[in-house]
Amino acid sequence: MRKSFNGLYGIVRHQLKEDPTSGHVFVFCNRSRNRIKLLLWDGSGLWVCAKRLEEGRFSWEWSEKEPSHNITHESLSLLLGGIDLQKARPKKWYRYQGQA
């Protein structure tokens, strides 16, 4: 987790084949899952936000073979708040999916 703006930008652009200036939040976690970084573009520049846990681990359960994974903003909030996403389950809830 030594990468900062340019390193994370490069990973998003070249390895994930995504546009770092798209407005999406890109989340990175270290191997021991006690540090997490977010890269996001706000329209005028890049933000890098980081969190280091003093104890415990983030419930990061995605495979290293899978280069990217989409999660909802609710799931990101739970992940950053220390909730195990595998054990949490959403209630049945109406969500507008947009026009088809």
Beta-ladder partners of 51: 36
Residue 1: which pLDDT band, with cuts at 50, 70 and 90? low
CB 57 within 8 A of CB 35: no
pLDDT of residue 100: 58
Report the C-alpha gap between 28 and 79 in whole angstroms: 12
DSSP state of 28: E
Give the CA-trace dihedral at 51, 56, 61, 63, to 10 degrees: 80
User: In degrees, to the nearest 5, what angle opens at C-alpha 15 toward C-alphas 65 and 62?
Assistant: 30
58-90 pLDDT, tens digit each: 887 776 677 778 888 888 888 888 888 777 777
pLDDT of residue 78: 86
pTM, entire model: 0.79
24-58 pLDDT, tens digit each: 999 998 888 899 999 999 999 999 999 999 998 88
Structure tokens at 9: 């930008």
